[in-house]
Amino acid sequence: MNFNAEQIAGMLNGKVEGNSSAEVNALAKIEEGFNGALSFLANSKYEEFIYTTESTICIVNNTFSPSKDLPSTLTLIKVEDAYSCFAKLLELYDSMTKEEPRIEQPSFVDASATIGNNIYLGAFSYVGKDSNIGDNVAIYPNVTIGKNVQIGEGTVIYSGVTIYRDCIIGKNCVIHSGAVIGADGFGFAPDKNGEFQKIPQIGNVILEDNVDIGANSTVDRATMGSTIIRKGAKIDNLVQIGHNVEIGNNTAMAAQVGIAGSTKVGNNVMIGGQVGLAGHMKVGNRAMIAAQSGVAGDIKDGSKIMGSPGFDSEDYKKSYLGFRRLPRILTRLQELEDKIKELTKDK
């Protein structure tokens, strides 16, 4: 679909500088622009590309002032915040690519299940007994939804997702391909012969509103009660969240994080990739944990943690500086010992 500069400026409350009739039909990074593409410039680090870009339209901040000639084919749209305005356009573009409401065949919906209005249900999907699917939900092909699952309106579930029985998914959540919600927690107890006996996992998983779950991530059901991912939390790909874990509001974690059972993570926490959190611990609000940290104890509100085992990031940096100098320190120590031996050998 084509849009001209005047239409885009109207959407963004911006001002056109150049050809108001210039049309675009695609989005592109400014350094990869081409004829018919719309780009944006928000970070001055990329300013050099605006002088060579082949994009037709570029969204810039009101404060942008070119230091040299722009391409003659480039039209600018000046806005208050180029980054947020481009994000708005991306959201609009994404909404235009959504599937039209329909139920594809073959698919299975149990007679006892409740299906809302304007849903998309892809082929080879399964909706189990007593489940409730809200309005405007999109369920892509090959999704399995178990018994008594609740899914709130506007949620999108991509191909290959499995949601086990009794789980509750809030409004406007996004669950990416291959994710598993509600598999059994890792609950086993050794008997007198040392053989592991399975502990039944009878709880569920609750995802509150606006939660994102990345591809091939897993959220285990609780042994009893609920594993809870609270409102606005963002979970990257390949993350493992154990049974009875609670993740706070607007907390974000990068790929390959592993959280053991019964750990409580606070609100607005940032967790880097490949972090491991031991079980039965607490992470305070607004804490930040650097990538590849291993944490076994509680973390206070606002703490910054690095290392494995993880500790305060400033102390870690000082310790790491000493560690890097350790070979030179050992060499110097050896030289001093040799000198002492030389000075004392005749005494």
Cα separation, 47 vs 30, in Å, equals 9
H or E element that contains 162: strand 162-163
User: Using an 8 Å Cβ cutoff, are 41 and 60 in contact?
Assistant: yes
Distance CA 153, CA 92 (A): 19
CB distance 86 to 104 below 8 Å = no
Who's near 310: CB < 8 A, 6+ residues apart?
A: 289, 290, 293, 294, 295, 296, 316
Which of 78, 171, 221, 243 is catalytic? The answer is 243
SS3 of the chain: helix, strand, coil, percent, to 5? 20, 30, 50
Which amino acid is present at 165? Answer: R
Round to whole Å and give the CA distance between 178 and 201. 21
Query: Alpha-carbon distance 268 to 250, whole Å?
Result: 5
Cα separation, 159 vs 162, in Å, equals 9
β-strands 311-312, 304-306: how paired?
A: antiparallel
Give the span between the Cα atoms of 8 and 187, in whole angstroms.
54
What is the C-alpha to C-alpha distance for residues 205 and 183, in angstroms, rounded to an integer?
9
243 given a catalytic annotation: yes
For residues 77 and 12, the answer to whether their CB atoms sit within 8 Å is: yes
How many whole angstroms separate alpha carbon 136 and alpha carbon 155? 7
**CA 79/CA 92 separation, integer angstroms:** 17
User: Known catalytic residues?
Assistant: 243
